[in-house]
């Protein structure tokens, strides 16, 4: 079990290092003379090699060693940063990513890395240069020492009864490499895998950390009997017990545990609602005060639990610079991607579902938006196009914007295609505004591409994006100006499981409408309900909007009720669309826990789930997107 836990940790951290390699290599491509970037790349590659060696993955170790050789030559300026070098290193990163994925999937057959290693060796020897070093000596380590860095001797002794010495060695290497660089190791890093049985480890370690910080970090690892940490210039051969450990500031928690915690808290929210209902019914002052206090505490707990599930959106954003670079080369375009707000946090569930939609939008901007360099020059634009990706919080939502400075939407072309595909009639198309025409791009099967390619033209892009974003409780729209570019807007809820909702009653059934879709509630007099083309509408602040009676939609078999002289209306909004929904009466606002209806009831129209109320009743949660359609 412990081996499995550390394998999962190895996979997670290896992915992070490969992503860091990708990002830093793209920076190096833009700034070939930046030695600090090369050092960062070398550090990540070296850390990954040490981790792979300590876990016994020989092929992964060999490939990262070949990477190190090139990076060492770059550091020593025996090799110049060229396009060939960057391309080769990025290709190696792709292979590393595939190898880590294979390990994650449990495939034990090693990759054939002879081809990629030979390519890296050829790159390393492409220019006249000194023989690449096989090991780092102390003098070279001193010369490479950055500002504020110190060279330490670190000696660690494992407990006599330590059963998994290779795992402990891996944890020690990982802890040291997190904030520094292992110059030498004894036994060598490559020997610290598989059946490793040594209990005494020593390292020559370069870092900006203080001696006490190194000890505290290592003290957090169990089954260490003794350690010595001192600057390399000193000599102290007597192992001594480390200082008292300081509390670790962060820990890793599996998503399964967080999901279980979230499920338990959802049950707590339901029981809290029941207690609030009981306290009101019995009219007991002391009980009501206790319940109110418990509600405040559980609200604070709710904020903490939800925050624990939040992860930075950079986990999705980080993969896009590499993708844009590859697409630009394939399409013969020059594009610069700028990213803002990558530290914006979003629920892990939403993050996991979001990636493909953003890929669709970015590929759309690359293929349909950004023009070829010579066309941009003819139009008086810069040769390099720009795509900006931005994320930010606002209220209980996260907004993501994708903007390009390309050619924009050709409204006449979109309108013509929509008529040809039977999406709208010519008469309707002639009366549509530019914004309405732009929304046609999200229609199923719609595409303006003349030729089907690997990038676009199959008519599944924007429709798939709209469906996915709406399934996450969000909305997507676009604004475009011909010749100046296109701007996509995505709105997403911070979390999917606990919602603020408006409780309403229709035909004696309680429904919950997510407040994220509600603009306002109102009353409407009978004489203000109009009929246009046999459909009911109402005047909402000078705009004619559709009017739906919830009873007609969800209880069509019930007896038709006579329209009251005064009706309750909920105004809903999704994107640019507005709609009025008539209900019997309002109950009020409530925090609810959204529960799935299960496989057999998942296809019920306009219902996205259910929730249990304080009195034990079940309320169905309305899907505003379905009502809009």
pLDDT of residue 571: 93
136-241 is a CATH 3.40.50.150 domain = no
Contact 72, 143 (CB under 8 A): no
Structure tokens at 238: 């007597």
Half-sphere exposure of 185 (CA within 13 A, CB side): 25
Distance CA 461, CA 443 (A): 10
Q: Classify domain 498-628 at the CATH topology level.
A: OB fold (Dihydrolipoamide Acetyltransferase, E2P) (2.40.50)
Q: Which of 46, 65, 360, 368 is catalytic?
A: 46
318 counts as catalytic:
no
> ω before 243 within 30° of 0 (cis)?
no
Please provide the DSSP assignment of 225-241 as one string.
EEEEEEETTS-----BP
Contacts of 106 (CB under 8 A, 6+ apart): none
Residue with tokens 């690997």: 454
Distance CA 75, CA 259 (A): 45
- For 6-59, write each residue's pLDDT tens digit: 777 788 888 888 888 988 888 888 888 888 888 888 888 888 888 888 788 888
186 counts as catalytic:
no
Give the start-to-end residue ranges of the domains of the chain: 1-134, 136-241, 256-309, 312-493, 498-628
364 counts as catalytic:
yes
Q: Which of 22, 69, 364, 625 is catalytic?
A: 364
Structure tokens at 354: 């979001």
Out of 1.10.30.50, 3.90.1200.10, 1.20.120.160, 3.40.50.150, which CATH number does the structure's domain 1-134 have?
A: 1.20.120.160
What spatial distance separates the first Cα and last Cα of the chain, rounded to whole Å?
A: 50
Distance CA 34, CA 28 (A): 7
Rg (C-alpha) for the chain, rounded Å, is 30
Distance CA 247, CA 276 (A): 39
Distance of CA 390 to the CA centre of its chain: 13
Half-sphere exposure of 420 (CA within 13 A, CB side): 10
**Phi then psi for 114, rounded to 5 degrees?**
-60, -40
Q: Which of 68, 266, 314, 371 is catalytic?
A: 68
312-493 is a CATH 1.10.3720.10 domain = no
> Running along the chain, 629 residues long, what does each successive block of 10 average in pLDDT?
68 86 88 86 84 82 87 83 87 87 75 82 63 39 62 86 76 82 80 71 87 85 83 51 45 76 81 82 84 83 80 88 88 92 87 87 90 91 93 83 91 86 84 84 70 47 82 85 91 78 90 88 88 87 89 68 79 83 90 74 77 83 80
Contacts of 564 (CB under 8 A, 6+ apart): 526
Residue 450: Cβ within 10 Å count? 7
Distance CA 582, CA 521 (A): 10
**Phi then psi for 211, rounded to 5 degrees?**
-55, -45
**Phi then psi for 157, rounded to 5 degrees?**
-115, 125
Residue with tokens 């999962």: 8
Contact 73, 132 (CB under 8 A): yes
């Amino acid at each position: 079990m412990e081996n499995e836990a550390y394998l999962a940790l190895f996979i997670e951290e290896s992915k992070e290092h490969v992503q860091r390699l990708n990002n830093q290599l793209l920076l190096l491509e833009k700034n070939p003379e930046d030695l600090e970037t090369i050092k960062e790349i070398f550090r990540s590659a070296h850390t990954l090699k040490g981790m792979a060696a300590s876990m016994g993955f020989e092929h992964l170790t060999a490939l990262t060693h070949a990477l190190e050789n090139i990076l060492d030559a770059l550091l020593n300026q025996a090799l110049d940063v060229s396009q060939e070098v960057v391309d080769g290193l990025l290709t190696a990163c792709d292979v590393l990513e595939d190898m880590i994925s294979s390990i994650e999937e449990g495939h034990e057959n090693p990759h054939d890395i002879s081809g990629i290693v030979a390519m890296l060796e050829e790159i390393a020897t492409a220019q006249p240069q000194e023989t690449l070093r096989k090991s780092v000596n102390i003098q070279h380590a001193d010369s490479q020492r950055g500002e504020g860095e110190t060279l330490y001797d670190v000696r660690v002794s494992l407990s006599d009864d330590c059963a998994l010495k290779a795992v402990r060695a891996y944890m020690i290497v990982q802890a040291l490499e997190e904030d520094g660089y292992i110059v030498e190791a004894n036994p060598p890093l490559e020997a610290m895998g598989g059946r490793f049985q040594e209990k005494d480890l020593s390292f020559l370690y370069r870092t900006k950390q203080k001696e006490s910080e190194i000890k505290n970090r290592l003290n957090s690892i169990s089954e260490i009997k003794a350690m010595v940490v001192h600057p390399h210039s000193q000599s102290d051969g007597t192992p001594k017990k480390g200082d008292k450990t300081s509390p670790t500031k962060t820990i890793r928690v599996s998503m399964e545990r967080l999901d279980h915690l979230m499920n338990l808290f959802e049950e707590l929210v339901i029981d809290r609602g029941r207690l609030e209902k009981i306290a009101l019914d019995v009219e007991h002052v002391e009980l009501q005060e206790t319940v109110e206090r418990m509600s405040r505490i559980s609200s604070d707990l709710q904020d903490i639990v939800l925050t624990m599930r939040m992860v930075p959106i950079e986990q999705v954003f980080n993969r896009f610079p590499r993708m844009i670079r590859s697409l630009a080369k394939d399409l013969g375009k020059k594009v610069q991607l700028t990213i803002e707000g990558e530290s914006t946090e979003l629920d892990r569930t939403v993050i996991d579902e979001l990636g493909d939609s953003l890929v669709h939008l970015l590929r759309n901007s690359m293929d349909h938006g950004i023009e070829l360099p010579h066309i941009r020059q003819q139009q008086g634009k810069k040769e390099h196009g720009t795509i900006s990706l931005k994320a930010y919080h606002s209220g209980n939502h996260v907004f993501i914007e994708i903007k390009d400075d390309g050619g924009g939407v050709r409204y006449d072309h979109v309108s013509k295609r929509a008529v040809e595909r039977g999406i709208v009639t010519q008469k309707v198309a002639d009366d549509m505004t530019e914004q309405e025409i732009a929304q046609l791009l999200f229609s199923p099967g719609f595409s303006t591409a003349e030729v089907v390619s690997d990038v676009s033209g199959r008519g599944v892009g924007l429709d798939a994006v709209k469906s996915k974003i709406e399934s996450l409780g969000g909305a997507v729209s676009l604004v475009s100006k011909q010749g100046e570019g296109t701007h996509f807007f995505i709105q997403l809820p911070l979390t999917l499981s606990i919602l603020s909702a408006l409780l309403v009653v229709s035909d004696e059934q309680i429904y919950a409408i997510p407040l994220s879709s509600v603009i306002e509630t109102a009353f409407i007099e009978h004489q203000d309900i109009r009929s246009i083309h046999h459909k009911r509408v109402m005047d909402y602040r000078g705009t004619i909007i559709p009017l739906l009676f919830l009873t007609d939609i969800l209880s069509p078999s019930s007896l038709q009720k006579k329209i009251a002289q005064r009706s309750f209306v909920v105004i809903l909004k999704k994107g640019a669309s507005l709609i009025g929904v008539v209900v019997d009466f309002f109950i009020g606002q409530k925090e609810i826990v959204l529960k799935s209806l299960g496989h057999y009831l998942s296809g019920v129209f306009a219902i996205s789930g259910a929730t249990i109320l304080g009195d034990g009743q079940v309320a169905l949660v309305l899907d505003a997107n379905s009502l809009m359609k």
